[in-house]
Amino acid sequence: MAKVKSIGFAGRPYGHVPGHTYLDVEVFRAGRGYCLLIVWGSAQGGDYDQEHGREEYARLSLDAVREAALEAHIGAGEAEVRRYIETACARAEEER
């Protein structure tokens, strides 16, 4: 099994504060490849978050992961998701 290491993260400010919604984008290195995970939901309080959905993109290169995730989120209403994908990938590039 490949070792997985988180190397880039971006998310909605105050997203995990009770009464708010969260949107987290995280980049992982797994062996020789990369994985991007998008998770969204609502913070319920008491250390409990209710997850509403998640998407995962896995590719060999970081650029390929970014491209696949951005293609999936092309709609104009998804500008926030695209911004977080770019931020998380940029942070991952700094850690490479």
DSSP secondary structure letters along 6-73: EEEEEE-TTTTSTT-EEEEEEEEEETTEEEEEEEEEEEEETTEEEEEEEEEEEESSHHHHHHHHHHHT
Query: What is the span of the domain harbouring residue 33?
Result: 4-95
Number of domains in the chain: 1
How far is 1 from 28, CA to CA, in rounded Å? 14
Tokens of 24: 């987290």
Q: What is the pLDDT of residues 77-90, one digit of tens each?
A: 789 999 999 999 99
pLDDT tens digit sequence for 41-80: 999 988 889 999 999 999 999 999 999 999 999 987 789 9
The rounded distance, in Å, linking the Cα atoms of 90 and 22 is 20
Q: Supply the Cα-derived Rg of the chain in whole angstroms.
A: 14
Q: What is the pTM of this model?
A: 0.90
In this prediction, residue 75 carries a pLDDT of 83
